[in-house]
Homo-oligomer: A and B are copies of this chain.
Amino acid sequence: MATIQDVARDAGVSTATVSRVFSAPGLVLEATRNRVMEAVNRLGYEPNFAAKSLRTLRTEKILVTVPDISNPFFSQVIRGVEEAALAAGYSVLLGDTRHEEAREEQYAAMFRRKEADGLIFLGHRLPDVLADMVAAKGPKTPIVNGCEFRPGLAVSSAHIDNERAAAEAMDHLYGLGHTRVGVVTGPLASPISSDRLAGALSAAQRHGRASALRIAIGDFSIESGVRQTGELLDEPGRPTAIFCFSDEMAMGALEAIRQRGLTCPDDVSLVGFDDIRFAQYLHPQLTTVSQPKEQIGHEVVRMLLDILAGRTTALQNVTLPHRLIVRSSTAPPRS
């Protein structure tokens, strides 16, 4: 591949002029610019990224780590991230951490090696080396979080009000007349789960149904939805409604309901969370809490770009609107 030297020689100018043709075309005479561009086309020149990056100390890349890309919720968020990043001239480096700390560390090291200008993490953990970095540099550290919000982590974040959203989902079920409700959470280490659980609990208390609330701890996977819902349904005093903290677990819940010869929503009402693309095509169509997935992606990139541009002085915490979407998987309990 041709270098800037080759182009300069071919066009009969200095390398500085070639460089200017790309970064500040206004500074170079049109005739010269044309000569340079001809040489560029003739030689098929593309500026070498590593050289540029070394000199400018910028990569124009954003590293995004996600616990699981094959999860439709995250892949939608990532789409939003990618869209906003590309619009700002950044590209996306994707890291699937598979919920494994080792991989999180690996990507943290990449970030420290300056393979990306900024980091967006969609999980709930921040490796120590990066936490140290945040502690040292404060809110100007180009690290932001999406979806999970933990006050202890001093990074900006975009997310919904998980507690309130969960409470609304429970209100919907109690409003339909359900009294025995089962909840299938994700791992409680993540704020996303603990916040939602807090919301569910407070709603249960408000409705005087706290003692009838059953809680099972899943891991957001379909399989755990099958398993945990199964356990809830097999207990004496079977719940008439189940609230899963992800749509995938709700898909599993549907399976568990069917396996027992029960029907949704006639025997058991079901509420999911996320409103993934498939939720409305399930049978019955799934009542769920919709998160503005792509918008979370946009916001998170916006905050990061603010930091990178030096426009930020304080942490930002953006709470985006959620919406309970009532479809046909919820109904009043059989009397």
Shortest A191–chain B CB gap in Å is: 24
A188 at the interface (CB under 8 A from B): no
Interface residue? A88 (CB, 8 A): no
Interface status of A13 (Cβ within 8 A of chain B): no
Q: Is A239's beta carbon under 8 Å from chain B?
A: no
Number of interface residues of A (CB under 8 A): 48
Q: Are B54 and A51 in contact (CB under 8 A)?
A: yes
A70–B80 Cα gap in the complex (Å)? 11
Specify which chain B residues have a CB less than 8 angstroms from the CB of A69 in the assembled complex: 69, 75, 78-79
Are A258 and B283 in touch, CB under 8 angstroms?
A: yes
Confirm or deny: A251 has a beta carbon within 8 angstroms of a beta carbon on chain B.
yes
Does A48 lie within 8 Å of B114, measured CB to CB? yes
- Whether B277 and A70, one on each chain, are in contact in the complex, defined by CB atoms closer than 8 angstroms, is yes
The residue of chain B having its C-beta at the shortest distance from the C-beta of A293 within the complex is: B70
Query: A12: which B residues are within 8 A, CB to CB?
Result: none
Identical chains in the assembly = 2
Residue A46 interfacial (CB < 8 Å): yes
A204 at interface (Cβ–Cβ under 8 A)? no
Binds B, one of A25-33, A91-99, A305-313, A319-327: A91-99
Residues of chain B lying within 8 A (CB to CB) of residue A94: 82, 92-94
B82, B103, B110: the one within 8 Å of A96 (CB): B82
A120 nearest CB across to chain B (Å): 13
A258–B57 Cα distance when bound, in Å, is: 57
Of B44, B93, B277, B283, which contacts A283 at CB under 8 A?
B283
What does the 1/0 interface line of A64-77 toward B look like (CB < 8 Å)? 00000110100110
Contact B50 A54 (CB under 8 A): yes
B114 in contact with A1 (CB, 8 Å):
yes
Supposing A48-B114, A69-B69, A113-B46 touch, asked if A278 and B277 sit within 8 A by C-beta, the answer is: no
Q: Tell me, in angstroms, the Cα distance from A222 to B279 when the chains sit together.
A: 12
Tell me the minimal C-beta distance from A285 to chain B in angstroms. Answer: 9
The chain B residue with its CB closest to the CB of A48 is B114
Cβ of B115 and Cβ of A49 under 8 Å apart? Answer: yes
In the assembled complex, the CB of A212 is this many whole angstroms from the nearest CB of chain B, namely 28
Interface flag for A255 (CB, 8 Å)? yes
How far is it, in angstroms, between the C-alpha of A277 and the C-alpha of B248 when the chains are bound? 10
> Does A205 sit within 8 A of B, measured CB to CB?
no
Contact, CB under 8 Å: B91 / A110:
yes
Q: How far is the CA of A292 from the CA of B95 in the complex (A)?
A: 22
Residues of B within 8 A of A57 (CB): 50
Tell me if A252 counts as interface (CB < 8 A to partner B).
yes
CA distance A114 to B1 in the complex (A): 9
B82 & A91 in contact (Cβ 8 Å cutoff):
no
A176 at interface by CB-CB < 8 Å: no
Beyond known contacts A49-B115, A50-B114, A282-B282: 11 more, CB 8 A cutoff: A44-B112, A49-B53, A49-B59, A50-B51, A50-B54, A50-B59, A70-B76, A75-B75, A79-B96, A82-B94, A222-B278
Could you list some 11 contacts between A and B, CB below 8 A? A1-B112, A49-B110, A50-B50, A54-B54, A69-B75, A70-B76, A78-B96, A86-B103, A86-B106, A91-B115, A93-B93
What 5 pairs across the A-B complex have the smallest Cβ distances? A50-B53, A94-B94, A50-B54, A70-B75, A46-B112
